[in-house]
Amino acid sequence: MPRRKQLSDRARAFTEVIQMRSFWRFLSDVLMYIKALLTRHPHFREAISQYDINVKSKFRVLACLGRFPNIEALIPKAAAAARRQFPKSRLTLEPSEDLLPGWAYLVLRIKPEHYTDDFMKKISAVEAEYLADALRSKCNISIAI
Contact 80, 117 (CB under 8 A): no
Cβ neighbours for 125, distance < 8 A, ≥ 6 positions apart: 81, 85
Give the DSSP H/E element, type plus range, for residue 66: helix 58-67
User: How many domains does the chain divide into?
Assistant: 1
> What are the φ/ψ torsions at residue 6 (nearest 5 degrees)?
-75, 135
Whether 112 is covered by a domain: the verdict is yes
Let me know how many helices (H) and strands (E) the chain has, helices first: 5, 4
User: Which pLDDT score is estimated for 53?
Assistant: 92
The answer to whether residue 2 sits within a structural domain is no
Q: In the predicted model, what is the mean pLDDT of residues 5-20? A: 62
Q: Quick check: 87 pLDDT over 80?
A: yes
For residue 4, tell me if it sits in a domain. no
| Structural domain includes residue 35 | yes
Confidence bin at 18 (pLDDT 50/70/90): low
Secondary structure element (H or E) that encloses residue 92, with its range: strand 90-95
pLDDT at 5 over 80: no
Q: Is the model's pLDDT at 42 over the cut of 80?
A: no
Boundaries of domain holding 17: 9-144
Q: Write the DSSP string, 131-142.
A: HHHHHHHTEEEE
d(CA 87, CA 89): 6
Element spanning 53, H or E: strand 53-55
The pTM (predicted TM-score) of the whole model is: 0.70
How high is the pLDDT of residue 2? 54
